[in-house]
Amino acid sequence: MSLQDESLTPADGYAETAYCADAIPEQSYAPQNEKLHGRILETRLPWGNYLGINPTTNQYSESWFQEYQYIGDDYHDYTMINELRWSQRVDENINDFYRFARFIFVIFSHLFSFVGGGGAILTGVAVVTAVLGGLASLVYGNSEFPWIFIKLIFGVAILCGVATLLRYFWEKYSIRFYKGNRNWSDDYAFCRHTGMVKTDIGDFPFYEFDTYIEMRVGTQGSQFHSLKLIHRYPHRSRLPNSASLLEFDFTVGGSIAQLYAAWDMLQRYMDVSQPLPDIPQIEPFRHLDLTTKAYDEAGKRGRPATYWRDLYANSSVEELKALREAHRAEVDSAAWGGRPDLMELSVPNYRETRKGEPEDVNAFGRFPWKAGKFVDRPEAGPPSEDVANRYNNDNAPR
């Protein structure tokens, strides 16, 4: 169930409610949730049996080092993730007018920018329009040079140039706004030390959430997949004045396998018998978590204490890109399928509520003709020697 050769015993200091995969308590029957009908929840991901692989988005974050350098000593409180909580909401100290103005600024700078926006396309359209307009003017015998078309080209180019410049300043200096006005909330988060998920309507045990891959279809028929954590017992967590479910959305770029990796990472983050996931954002706080500190001091991490900080400080953009691509291939080729679901041992009717998974997890979502092929998961129970060897023999640091 763990990636480690031997189970780690968390030291004193965690709350009695802290989550541990080896000690999920017995729970009540999972009710039929009518609110799930009509949603394309393609598969429910299993609890436990970690592979110890993090999604590429978190393993090789492109922005964390810039934030870490700028925020400095206050990074612990201003980052989304630390050793205590994984926040899901931002508290901003700004008024509504500022929010609206910032929204317009970002839309303009990103939509019309030459870099990463539609500036080049818009300028190309202006050039084509000017050429066709000029030719039409000559055909119809207009003796004056059509300066209006030249002005059109220059006007569009200047507009897009300004947008490009504004986008550059936004990407370079928006981190100042981050520290000055934006704080990750401690009141809407996954809390490692307590094992609870904090929300506006109360705190709920982490093990009461089910994790699904949800597929949504765009207006042009395109498909989008996201990771959804939905509270299993809606009668306990109805949002006030609403029939909406209590749920969380984790967006991870890449394949379906990346969503499996995100769930694997979140479980290990909450499981106090496991060290914190070895990702850049949490590295500065590893020594503050009891289990992780013991793990690292025993030499099991196999990396220097400042591995990620040094890597980003000393690697070129090309080197980081190569590492990112290699890790993406590792995630996509990992054996995510065929693992039993530990929650079956704690919820009496859990297997009956949804037990199938894609026959080929790694191909699922990329090859539509395989979408209908689902198989039953192995039944949960005491791990056999083969299963234990499958998941416990990999000590390579991730």
First to last CA, the chain: 17
pLDDT in the model for residue 235: 81
* Segment 74-133, tens digit of pLDDT: 888 888 899 999 998 877 777 778 778 888 988 998 899 988 888 888 888 888 888 887
pTM: 0.77
**Whether 142 contacts 168, CB under 8 Å:** no
**Distance of alpha carbon 280 from alpha carbon 390, whole angstroms:** 27
* Segment 156-195, tens digit of pLDDT: 889 999 999 998 888 777 766 666 666 787 888 999 999 9
| Distance set, CA 238 to CA 37, 88, 114, 196, 261 (Å) | 17, 19, 46, 17, 29
Which residue, 226, 166, 177, is CA-closest to 365? 226
Q: Where are the domains of the chain?
A: 34-91+187-365, 96-178
**Distance of alpha carbon 18 from alpha carbon 63, whole angstroms:** 31
Two tokens, residue 229 = 């954590």
Taking 80 as the threshold, does the pLDDT of residue 3 lie above it? Answer: no
**Distance of alpha carbon 354 from alpha carbon 43, whole angstroms:** 8
Q: What is the mean pLDDT of the chain?
A: 82
Which range, 9-18, 124-133, 316-325, has the best average confidence (pLDDT)? 316-325
pLDDT in the model for residue 306: 95
